[in-house]
Every structure is written in structure tokens, then in C-alpha cells.
Structure 1
Amino acid sequence: MIQLRGIAYHVRHWGNEDAPKIFMMHGWMDVSASFQFVVDQLQADWHVIAPDWRGFGLTEAPGTDTYWFPDYLGDLDALLTQYSPDEPVNLLGHSMGGNVVGLYAGARPERVRRLVDLEGFGLPATSPEQAPGRYRKWLEELRTPPVLKTYASLAEVAARLQKTNPRLSNEKAAFLSQHWARENAQGRWEILGDPAHKQTSPLLFHVEEMMACWANISAPVLWMEAEDTDIWSWMGPKEQARPEIDRRLTYFRQLEKHMIADAGHMLHHDQPALLAKIIEAFLLRP
């Protein structure tokens, strides 16, 4: 546990403190232990550093009713200052974490040596006309704070994880469940995530701002995407979303792309050995 920007942050470490570092940033409603299966498959000597984002896992929730992307950037900047103040870093992010590291690498290009993005697609484009409705929805949600479902046992938590990802083995689901939930005073298992994460953001997503950040990245970028991703469920019909995603990827100056077969959005759970092999080849390349 360390203090970052006034919050008690839980940071998970694997490997040798003196080895080259990889920072791994998890996605929405996930935890740092999610990277265990990829870390298990790494062959070289690494020091892997992975925090639980604010309000997730064992990291303190700031007591807010809405989470803002700039806070994730601020937390990441503080984390890198803590563990690698002088050297550019190898930075990896999945999903929401991928979106954060992409923005950060554009805002502070000198701080990133290599960038690995696992399905950090961004969100659907918006238009100004959506603003009144978005603000109204946010205001209405503030009246009834969100809650997260609880479970009777860790086995139920594991089953919930497998419902979301049917590829998840019993062994992996059992491992993840103990890091994804904890028992409360009533004997129920509650998800280690602040319910406020479910709150609608009142701010519209501006894809042009994300593209400007991507275009400003100076580091080589490794992009990995799953063949069976469910990203289309929030990006729109595949026939419309695919061209838009491909358009966005053109903003990276130095891009290496891999499509991962037999994997869904949690591709680091589904194909950890393949991901570890591709990641190491990318990071170790001169």
C-alpha cells in the first residue's frame, strides 16, 4: 500500500526489483490480479508493477459519486514518479486501462518507452446535441446511488465471472474470485469495486481529443485485439464499428497489430501464453 494523490493505493509486484519494469493497468470492474496468468507465462526477468485503480480492488475509494478520466491520468503519473522517476517505462493497459495509457502516452510521450494496448478502443463518438440528455441522466442517477449485487459464496462469484467469460476455467475463476470480492459483515461476498463506477459520466466522449493524444505518442505501440471480442456491444454494429476502429488505429505513428484467435475481450485470461510471447518479443526488441 502506498499513498498516491491522497489515496491509499494497492500496488501488486511480481519478480525482481532490479529487473526491467513493466507497468500493467487493468480495466473497468477488474483488479490488478487479473494479470497473474500473463505474468506466469513471461520467460525473461521482469519487475511487473500493477496497481488497483482508485475505487477498485484494495485501493481506497475517494468518496466521490462520479469518476473522472483525468484522475486516472494523475494517478498513473504519480505511480510512475514513485517507481520510475527517471526512466521511460514499458506501459501496458487493458480496456479502460488501455484507454488511460493511450491518453497518458500522448500527454507525456517522453515517459513511455513502449506501449502495449489490449483493446483500449475508446468509446463511441458523441455529438454536442447529446449533452442535455447526458446531463439529465446523470442528475437523475445521482438521486439513487448505484449498488452492486452481492453473492452467497466465492463459488457464486466464480460462476459470475464464468458467465461473463465462458472460456474461463474453473481454476482461473476460483483464483480471480478471491481477488475480485470479499466477505462482508453479513456473510455475503461483495465485489471489490465502488458502485459509483456504474454512474453515467455527465461528460461526453470526444474522440478527436483521444486521437490527438494517440497522434502525439512517440513510443512504438503494440495493439492486441481478440477475434471474439464483445466490444461491438458498446461500439455499435460490427459493420459500422470495424471501420471506425481501423480509422482510429491510423493515428498511431509506430503500430504493430495482432489479432488473437480463440479469445474474447478478456484476452489476457483466454490466451495468456500467446500474449506473454508477443509482449516480450515487442519489449525486448532493440
Structure 2
Amino acid sequence: MSSATFPAAIPSWAVGDVTVHRIDEILLPPVTGAWLLPDATPEVVTGQDWLHPHFADHEGALRLDSHSFAFSVGGLRVLVDTGIGNGKERANPAWHHLRTDYLERLTAAGFPPDSVDLVVLTHLHADHVGWNTREVNGEWVPTFPRARYLTSRTEREFWAGYAMEEARGQMFRDSVLPVERAGLLDLVDVPAEGVEIAPGLRLLPTPGHTPGHVAVELTNRGEAALITGDCVHHPVQLAHPAIGACVDIDPRQSEASRRTLLDSLADTDTLLLGTHFAPPTAGRVRTHGGAYRLLPVPAA
């Protein structure tokens, strides 16, 4: 599968003096939404007219995509999540053996792989860790050899004791274990109040989708942004926080984390950056109809 067509410019948003770049990988096929969020039926989606045209089509099909966020803060060059990756053997046909220009886009944004200092992994799912590695001479090697890769200790320890099916085992073999073997993976304890991992950069616990899932909070000069990871897959979940993903390990906890997060952001100036939100990708959470909606903030 080749990359879909994206705008040539690298989309970005300002958070204080920090510029957050969206590094596009692929648009996900239309069937993704119906599979991933089965309770987001066309009737539910079309009932929220603010979702159209950016986040859903006229028939109620959800729009999602795969991307990362890159920025410099506290003297560190940071990448949050690494997408699906190229050449990976995946059970999902939309992810199988991709050939995208992700690294070229990352470099065009000013973040060539050798320059990245910190890779933050919100959780260890195949579409968030794929560019952890790339194939060199038939072996999977870390894409960011100078970087520390961070994830929650709870997350890594959960999967260490999990009876993995072959597809998940393959993902760990090609995208997680090579980073561990290189001594580049750091495990972070994330307490209930969150933890600062660099000046202006915090991990916030948002368990449920996976046990150690984290969201990423960026603050600079009185402004703030929050990168969702998979605590929120799509803006329809703002209107209906009870809608969960079919792959949530603990659906009730996932909903509780989502409600807590959205409540903390509602009617504030914090910029919400959705890890799978289709363009315009970012917005501010506003109370709406007994729940919430996203007020889009287009990229610069």
C-alpha cells in the first residue's frame, strides 16, 4: 500500500513558543471507523452536524488517519508515537507492508531521524510503534539511534505477561524488542497526577484502551496542548464519551479516562491534538448538548 496524498506543507500549531508539527503517514480506509468504533453508527454520527465535513462524510462514515507529532521543548527534540511503519508484516491489510514517505516528511519538518532525542510511546499498539524501527540489511534496527524511547512501566509489564497472538508477537519482534535490545527503551512510572519527563512535558495516565496508556501534555509560556493517543480515537467520542474502541482492553476504564480527560479540557484554551483525528486534527473542547464538541483549530 502506498501513501495517500497529503498537502505538501507540514501542518503545525503554536503552543507558546513551541511549534508542534503533524507528521502524516496515511489516511486510514473508510471501513476503519465502523470496525474500530462500532457504536458510532451512521445515525449517531450524522446526528452531530459539527462532525461534517472534516471528521465524517455525509453518510456518517468516520474519517481517521495515522500520524505523529514532533516538536522541540526543554532542549529536547521530541516525537510522540511512531505510526505503522514501512515494510511491516501486519494482519490488518491497511497496515501491511506500507511504503510511505513518513521519514521524508519528518525530515522536512526539521526532525531527521538522527536528530530526535526523545520518542514518547503513548502505548504499545502496532499503529503507534511501527517507525520505532526500520529495516537495514534484513534486520530491524532503531530508526532513532540517538533517542531515548519512553513508555509507561505498567504498559510494558502488562504485555510482558500477556499471551500474545502471532500478529501481536510479530509486532513486538519487529518494533519493540529491537529497541529494548539496543538499550534505548526507558520505562516510566506514571502516578495518578502524571509525571514530568522534561520541562513543559508531562505524561498523564489514561488507562483503559491499554492498562498503561498515557496522554501527553505540553505547556509553554502559559499555553497548553494535549496529545490524546488512543484515549480518544475520533471527535464523535466527545459527543458520546461512552463510545469505545473494539480493541479497548478495559472498556469501562477507557470510558472513565476519556470522561475525566474531556471534563478537564472542557471550555479551556488547551489545544486537543488527536492522534487519529483527520485534518484539521486539532481543536478546543467545548461543552455541547450535555457532552462536548470539538471547535477546530486549523493548522498554520
Whether TM-score is above 0.5 comes out as no
Q: Which has the higher contact order (CA 8 A, sep 6+)?
A: 1
The structure that has the greater radius of gyration is 1
**Structure whose residues are more often strand by fraction:** 2
**Structure whose residues are more often helix by fraction:** 1
